[in-house]
Amino acid sequence: MTDRTPRSSAPRRSWWGWGTEDRALSDGECAALGALVPGAAGTPLPVPGIGALDLPGARVAPPASLAPLMSDAPRDRASHTYGKAYRDVVRALHGDLAAAPDQVAFPRTEQDVVDVLDWAAGADVAVVPYGAGSSVVGGVEYRGDRRGGVVSLDLSALDRVLDIDTTSRAARIQAGALGPDLEAQLRPHGLTLRHFPQSFEFSTLGGWLATRAGGHYATLLTHIDDLTQSLRVVTPAGVDESLRVPGSGAGPSPDRLFLGSEGTLGVITEAWMRLQDRPRHRASASVVFEDFTVAAEAVRVIAQSGLHPANCRLLDPGEAALAGVAGGGRSVLVLGVESAHLPVAARLAELAGLARDHGGRPAEGPQGEDRPAAAASADSASSDAAAAAWRSAFLRMPYLRDGLARMSVISETFETACTWDRFPALYEAVHRDLGAVVRRVTGAPGMINCRFTHVYPDGPAPYFTVIAPARRGSEVAMWDEIKAEAMRILGEHGGTVTHHHAVGRDHRPGYDAQRPEPFALALRAAKDALDPAGILNPGVLVDAARR
């Protein structure tokens, strides 16, 4: 099969970095960005051309029956080598593609998926399921020396909404559908999945399900798990399809075994997803706090109020500055409320009142009003100035991250969730202990920012951004040292190794320490039962008896 070229009208996806090539920063923009970071390199790393890449020879060729589905074109192999973590982008920029898959399979039907797995099991080929490659945890990157070679299984051709039940508000959607594509297919019915991770534009339903993705909304239904009615999963031991019901108490949930299984137990091909009416009422407001810990306490009160804000995003001063939110050196809390059926102004007023009662004061600039939102894009939950600024920066952030990577500036994030009683110590330890590591490793003060991406009655999901200049050529080693310390701190302070970025290969040490050992036994046994040849995403989550 020849190189997959995008539809002529669509901008081409970057093979090495985030999103589309047309939105990547220019060399000049990279340099200007780097100039803001003391100690950054003076010139950007060049982006290697596909033709110049030193790809290893493909060790395996598909059988004739599967040849039409497979590609070993350099661009396909290069673009499927890594996910989109900082360390992935840096390695791609340095032309380090030794881990490239031998083949990329593009199944067009579920039967194609079955056929690829059957062949792979017999030929001892490792299969790495691939949605749109937005993993930031090494989830789609094979590491090892599989005798039979490695196939990246790209589900992007399975991108259709197959069925819509408007009565029960649910849709059967293929796993390879990108966020915008599935929303476009639901919109004519007045419905939305309402799941907007930061990667929305460049990630798929199947990827969200396999990694327990977190959406944009801050409370209540945060993870994709909660929106899942039933799954269809191709495993080497057969196709698993769960019953489509609104709730069940019949044994342990079959779906919850596959949600978060990260391609190790099977390949999710489709799902019935719970939908919602599209919001028609929205309002937002921003509140500033002099002190982040006071703000966190106010957010706790809000999270425990039962008011369920759609947005409840607390930015510390550094994060607010980075996002261009006018906080004036203070912490900013962006609150948003929305509803398909009911006016929301009163609820927003209650929320803002709680924030003010607990040490906040209204931000300057225009505040959002309750307003009909029919014309607004479905994932735009905010209307006040801070919210709008934040949102714009939020979507631009991965491109900026790539620009910083080209300037050899470490710019990466890690996230967690912990109970409220543990949060103050965890927050302090990250700043103190990780800050010390950043200084030691990079020789520069660096910057560590924090925001809350989600909040629960029993605790927040803090999200940290680390920015520091690295030594060119040592970026990955330096980041890995910082990352190991971050995992250690989270583990020591009661935080999960990941709230919504998944485990993949990068989080294995923290995951192995966190996961109860009997559960590991059970998961390994389930893996061996469903994937007896051990072909599925080896090295992720759990080691099979046969790797």
What phi, psi does 283 have (nearest 5°)? Answer: -155, 150
The whole-angstrom separation of Cα 83 and Cα 366 is 39
Residue type, 215: G
Interaction of residue 113 with its own copies, rule CB under 8 A: no
**What is the end-to-end Cα distance of the chain in Å, rounded?**
29
| Joined tokens for residue 95 | 């032309």
Beta strands in 75-135 (DSSP E): 103-105, 126-130
**244, 371, 471, 488: which one contacts its own copies (CB under 8 A)?**
244
CB nearer to its own copies: pick between 75 and 300 = 300
| Joined tokens for residue 59 | 């060790």
Query: Maximum CA pair distance of the chain?
Result: 69
Interaction of residue 115 with its own copies, rule CB under 8 A: no
Of the candidate spans 36-44, 98-106, 254-262, 358-366, the one that interacts with its own copies by CB under 8 A turns out to be 254-262
Task: Calculate the alpha carbon distances from 206 to 128, 179, 201, 339, 547 in Å.
Answer: 13, 10, 14, 27, 24
**3-class state of residue 121 by DSSP:** helix
CB of 307 to its own copies, least distance (A): 8
Of the candidate spans 53-61, 246-254, 384-392, 402-410, the one that interacts with its own copies by CB under 8 A turns out to be 246-254
Look up tokens 């425990």; give the residue. 304
In 3D space, the residue among 395, 378, 13, 397 whose CA is nearest the CA of residue 180 turns out to be 378
H helical segments located in 340-432? 345-357, 385-406, 423-429
Look up tokens 């485990």; give the residue. 503
Interaction of residue 233 with its own copies, rule CB under 8 A: yes
CB nearer to its own copies: pick between 76 and 415 = 415
CA angle 348, 418, 327 (to 5 degrees): 45
Interaction of residue 515 with its own copies, rule CB under 8 A: yes
CB nearer to its own copies: pick between 34 and 309 = 309
The whole-angstrom separation of Cα 371 and Cα 8 is 38
CB nearer to its own copies: pick between 51 and 306 = 306
CB nearer to its own copies: pick between 32 and 529 = 529
According to DSSP, residue 223 is labeled: B
Residues 449-478 that bind its own copies (CB under 8 A): 454, 456-461
CB of 6 to its own copies, least distance (A): 30
CB of 286 to its own copies, least distance (A): 22
Q: Give the Cβ contact number of residue 238 at 10 Å.
A: 11
Cβ 265 vs Cβ 329: under 8 Å: no
Of the candidate spans 27-35, 244-252, 384-392, 405-413, the one that interacts with its own copies by CB under 8 A turns out to be 244-252
Residues 364-393 that bind its own copies (CB under 8 A): none
Report the interhelical angle of 475-492 vs 435-442 (nearest 10°).
Answer: 160
CB of 374 to its own copies, least distance (A): 17
In 3D space, the residue among 10, 6, 8 whose CA is nearest the CA of residue 22 turns out to be 10
CB of 50 to its own copies, least distance (A): 33
Residues 481-500 that bind its own copies (CB under 8 A): 494-500
Dihedral, CA atoms, 225, 226, 228, 234, nearest 10 degrees?
10
Of the candidate spans 22-30, 212-220, 399-407, 437-445, the one that interacts with its own copies by CB under 8 A turns out to be 212-220
The pairs formed by 541-545 with CB atoms below 8 angstroms and a separation of 24 or more are: 541/261, 541/262, 541/264, 541/503, 541/508, 541/511, 542/264, 544/264
CB nearer to its own copies: pick between 107 and 260 = 260
Beta strands in 374-438 (DSSP E): 409-415
**20, 293, 305, 474: which one contacts its own copies (CB under 8 A)?**
305
CB nearer to its own copies: pick between 392 and 419 = 419
Residues 22-81 that bind its own copies (CB under 8 A): none
CB nearer to its own copies: pick between 20 and 305 = 305
| Number of residues this chain uses to bind its own copies (CB under 8 A) | 96
Cβ 420 vs Cβ 401: under 8 Å: no
**10, 52, 64, 250: which one contacts its own copies (CB under 8 A)?**
250
**262, 270, 316, 485: which one contacts its own copies (CB under 8 A)?**
262
CB of 534 to its own copies, least distance (A): 14
Interaction of residue 277 with its own copies, rule CB under 8 A: yes
Residues 399-438 that bind its own copies (CB under 8 A): 417-421
Of the candidate spans 43-51, 174-182, 232-240, 356-364, the one that interacts with its own copies by CB under 8 A turns out to be 232-240
**66, 503, 536, 544: which one contacts its own copies (CB under 8 A)?**
503
The whole-angstrom separation of Cα 478 and Cα 467 is 12
Of the candidate spans 119-127, 152-160, 253-261, 403-411, the one that interacts with its own copies by CB under 8 A turns out to be 253-261
Task: List residues bridging with 451 in a β-sheet.
Answer: 315, 463
Residues 319-358 that bind its own copies (CB under 8 A): 339-342, 350
CA angle 448, 323, 460 (to 5 degrees): 60
Residues 150-189 that bind its own copies (CB under 8 A): 165, 167-170
**3-class state of residue 500 by DSSP:** coil
**97, 265, 312, 363: which one contacts its own copies (CB under 8 A)?**
265
**159, 241, 481, 543: which one contacts its own copies (CB under 8 A)?**
241
Interaction of residue 293 with its own copies, rule CB under 8 A: no
**32, 529, 546, 547: which one contacts its own copies (CB under 8 A)?**
529
